[in-house]
């Protein structure tokens, strides 16, 4: 199991709170992992801060994925796994998107590597990313209807 | 199609479909190349031909059943996929795995790394026109697959690493077999290096090709040998040790040239480091001891106990019909696969089936950097760059 330094993780929360107390809506500590819940409107600014603040220095966006909490609302939870290579630390940013809204700001401007990760989420969940340079389906064929990884999409497919 | 101004006049670019059926795309990768003569103007990778919805299928299986699906993503690294998935489930459960099982896992995963790099080296050499290396590499890989077969009964889709430990006790005589391999392998790696490292054609095809700066690679989320060849020594086994990697002594090979040749040197050096880890793991694995955690209701009970204890029989029945339910929450675990950071994210809603299983597959993310590597380069270099990214399309598309 990955040992994580929770003492440092709290330092991340402190840094972010010092920058903008609005950015940290909630902090979830579970199994040694820290998740910082960020309001959707502040996602890009918080991500930029995580990357640019020398005390945080999260230079690698390891992963981005979506969890569909259907039938709860807001149903989509976006999880971004950040890594600071020089500081040897991991953190997760999370934001929620409702079904009616379905749009979140793209992080490609912060980490260009978010490009395909966001396209994958768009493809499989139908969440759109505002400001993404090339938002097209990536895994499924262009004519595919629906978003197969949503919980209300049957596993055996639609007949 | 666009027009390009050159010294001798105006030319038109041409669009060429490379793949999806092309031997050097290592599976079914299609790259749309816009060419100006021999030069690549733009490159657009098109993927998804092997998409089978593994993440969706996982949501319809119990936690233990989903292990067999993970084998089939990165089919050159099935044990590594098993490990990432099992570590994530174990983290979700807060389950401690016995040391002996952890060491067995490390040994097999490192053997898997060698076998994966062997396939890479062989296929990359054949892409570059060196036929014989492929045959040598597959000869040694066969020995590794024989070890896997002895351990798990399967050569490739082993599903040997299970939640809470490993599936079976190591087979009789495994030490001698692994030792034979360890004694043979260093000389064999020297053989490959004798064929390639100083080879003029090999160097000519790889040196200075596919350069990307370390800053670009990190920004593009590239991990694995591709990143380490640019001087960034990021390796999950060292940075965020898992499965008791902190007990092992090994180096993380890095280069600074960040070209295809540096990526080759890093992978060869990694094979030697893996041999060191396998040797240490072999010494650490005790002759007897538990291979599974004591976790009634999660880890299947021993066969003998099922015949004598009623609880054991009940647990056995429940595990294989209903499964077990981790508490609600999320866990993310990243392991170092031969291709880079292989992450597994699992969200549980407290039911016996996962709410969401997501794999951060290194092949998928590393492939993003391909256009940046080849745009402006020669079309022949495209083959070298696709090769040294080391993609496995099963994992790209999942």
Q: What pLDDT, in 10s, does the model give residues A53-72?
A: 888 889 999 999 999 988 88
Question: How high is the mean pLDDT in each 10-residue block of chain B (398 residues)?
Answer: 69 83 77 88 89 90 91 90 93 91 93 93 89 91 93 90 90 92 93 90 90 92 92 90 91 91 93 93 90 87 87 90 90 93 92 92 92 88 89 87
Q: What is the pLDDT of residue A6?
A: 47
Q: DSSP string of B26-74?
A: SSS-EEEEEEETTEEEEEEEE--TT---HHHHHTTS-TTTTHHHHHTTS
**A-interface mutation test, from B329, B335, B365, B393, most A Cβ less than 10 A away:** B365
- The answer to whether the beta carbons of residues B352 and B325 sit under 8 Å apart is yes
CA distances from A71 to A98, A99, A122 (A): 11, 10, 19
- The answer to whether the beta carbons of residues A62 and B221 sit under 8 Å apart is yes
Tokens of B368: 């993003």
Which residue of A33, A60, A155 is in closest CB contact with B218? A60
Cβ atoms within 10 A of the Cβ of A152, count? 10
Quote the minimal CA–CA distance from B360 to chain A in Å: 6
Q: What is the pLDDT of residue B273?
A: 93
- A6, containing H or E segment: helix A6-19
Cβ atoms within 10 A of the Cβ of B4, count? 14
- A43, containing H or E segment: helix A43-52
Quote the minimal CA–CA distance from A67 to chain B in Å: 6
Backbone phi and psi for residue A20, each to the nearest 5 degrees, phi listed first:
-155, 105
Asked whether the beta carbons of residue A148 and residue B56 sit closer than 8 angstroms, the reply is yes
Rounded to 5°, angle at Cα B24 from B19 and B262: 130
Asked whether the beta carbons of residue A139 and residue B398 sit closer than 8 angstroms, the reply is yes
Asked whether the beta carbons of residue B334 and residue A139 sit closer than 8 angstroms, the reply is no
Residues 227-266 of B with CB under 8 A from A: 232, 234, 239-242
Tokens of B202: 């090999």
Tell me chain B's radius of gyration from C-alpha atoms: 22
Nearest to A98, CA basis, from A42, A27, A39: A39
Query: Which residues are CB-contacts of A28 (< 8 A; sequence separation ≥ 6)?
Result: A34, A35, A37, A94
Asked whether the beta carbons of residue B221 and residue A141 sit closer than 8 angstroms, the reply is no
Asked whether the beta carbons of residue B330 and residue A62 sit closer than 8 angstroms, the reply is no
Tokens of A93: 């940013």
- The answer to whether the beta carbons of residues B387 and B24 sit under 8 Å apart is yes
**Lookup result for tokens 């999260």:** A58
Quote the minimal CA–CA distance from B194 to chain A in Å: 35
Cβ atoms within 10 A of the Cβ of B168, count? 14
Spell out the alpha helix ranges (H) of chain B.
Answer: 54-58, 67-71, 78-93, 99-127, 131-152, 174-196, 200-206, 214-219, 225-228, 236-239, 260-284, 303-308, 310-321, 362-367, 370-374, 379-389, 393-397
User: Which chain B residues are closer than 8 Å to A120 by Cβ?
Assistant: 364
Backbone phi and psi for residue A133, each to the nearest 5 degrees, phi listed first:
-70, -20
Tell me which chain A residue has its CA closest to the CA of residue B344: A63
Asked whether the beta carbons of residue B332 and residue A81 sit closer than 8 angstroms, the reply is yes
CA torsion sign, B36 to B38 to B39 to B41? Answer: positive
Low-confidence ranges of chain A (pLDDT < 70): 1-9, 159
Q: What is the pLDDT of residue B109?
A: 94
Q: What is the dihedral of CA B151, B154, B155, B161, to 10 degrees?
A: -60
Q: What is the pLDDT of residue A2?
A: 39
Q: What is the pLDDT of residue A159?
A: 67
Query: Which residues are CB-contacts of A16 (< 8 A; sequence separation ≥ 6)?
Result: A23, A24, A36, A46, A49, A50, A56
Asked whether the beta carbons of residue A63 and residue B332 sit closer than 8 angstroms, the reply is yes
* B59 Cβ under 8 Å from any chain A Cβ: yes
Tell me which chain B residue has its CA closest to the CA of residue A117: B365
Nearest to A59, CA basis, from A110, A3, A5, A129: A110
Nearest to A50, CA basis, from A22, A78, A23, A79: A23
User: Which chain B residues are closer than 8 Å to A114 by Cβ?
Assistant: 221
Asked whether the beta carbons of residue A155 and residue B345 sit closer than 8 angstroms, the reply is no
Tokens of B298: 């999660």
Tell me chain A's radius of gyration from C-alpha atoms: 16
pTM score, two decimals? 0.91
């Amino acid at each position: 199991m990955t040992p994580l330094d929770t003492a440092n993780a709290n330092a991340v929360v402190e840094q972010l709170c010092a920058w903008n107390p609005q950015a940290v809506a909630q902090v979830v500590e579970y199994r040694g992992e820290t998740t910082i819940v960020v309001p959707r409107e502040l996602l890009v600014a918080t991500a930029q801060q995580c990357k640019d603040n020398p005390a945080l220095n999260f230079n690698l966006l390891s992963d981005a994925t979506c969890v569909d909490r259907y039938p709860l609302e807001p149903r989509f939870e976006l999880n971004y796994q950040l890594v600071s290579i020089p500081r040897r630390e991991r953190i997760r940013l999370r934001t929620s998107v409702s079904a009616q809204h379905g749009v979140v700001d793209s992080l490609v401007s912060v980490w260009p590597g978010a490009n395909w990760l966001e396209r994958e989420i768009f493809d499989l969940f139908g969440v759109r990313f505002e400001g993404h340079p090339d938002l097209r389906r990536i895994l499924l064929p262009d004519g595919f209807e629906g978003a197969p990884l949503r919980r209300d999409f049957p596993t055996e497919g639609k007949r | 199609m666009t027009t390009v101004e050159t010294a001798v006049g105006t030319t038109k670019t041409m669009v060429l479909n490379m793949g999806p059926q092309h031997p050097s795309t290592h599976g079914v990768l299609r790259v749309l190349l816009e060419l100006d003569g021999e030069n690549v103007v733009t490159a657009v990778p098109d993927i998804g031909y092997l998409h089978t919805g593994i993440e969706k299928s996982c949501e319809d299986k119990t936690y233990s059943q989903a292990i067999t699906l993970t084998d089939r993503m990165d089919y050159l690294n099935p044990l590594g996929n098993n490990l990432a998935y099992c570590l994530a489930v174990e983290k979700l459960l807060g389950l401690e795995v016995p040391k002996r099982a952890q060491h067995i896992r490390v040994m097999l995963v490192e053997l898997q790394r060698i076998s994966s790099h062997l396939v890479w080296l062989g296929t990359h050499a054949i892409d570059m026109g060196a036929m014989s290396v492929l045959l040598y590499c597959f000869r040694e890989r066969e020995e590794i697959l024989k070890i896997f077969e002895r351990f798990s009964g399967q050569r490739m889709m082993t599903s040997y690493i299970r939640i809470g430990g490993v599936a079976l006790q190591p087979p009789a005589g495994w030490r001698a077999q692994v030792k034979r391999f360890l004694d043979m392998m260093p000389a064999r790696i020297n053989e490959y290096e004798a064929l390639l490292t100083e080879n003029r054609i090999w160097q000519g095809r790889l040196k200075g090709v596919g350069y990307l700066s370390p800053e670009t690679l990190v920004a593009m989320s590239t991990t694995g040998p591709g990143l380490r060849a640019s001087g960034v020594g990021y390796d999950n086994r060292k940075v965020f040790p898992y499965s008791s990697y902190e007990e092992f002594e090994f180096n993380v090979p890095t280069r600074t040239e960040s070209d295809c040749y540096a990526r080759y040197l890093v992978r060869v050096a990694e094979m030697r480091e893996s041999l060191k880890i396998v040797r240490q793991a072999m010494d650490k694995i005790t002759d007897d001891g538990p291979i599974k955690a004591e976790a009634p209701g999660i880890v299947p009970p021993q066969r003998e106990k099922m015949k004598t204890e009623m609880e054991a029989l009940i647990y056995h029945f429940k595990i294989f019909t209903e499964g077990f339910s981790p508490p609600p929450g999320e866990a993310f675990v990243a392991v170092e696969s031969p291709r880079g950071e292989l992450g597994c994210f699992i969200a549980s809603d407290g039911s016996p089936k996962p709410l969401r299983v997501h794999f951060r597959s290194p092949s998928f993310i590393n492939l993003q950097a391909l256009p940046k590597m080849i745009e402006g380069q020669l079309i022949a270099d495209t083959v070298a760059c696709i090769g040294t990214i080391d993609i496995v399309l099963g994992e790209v598309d999942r």
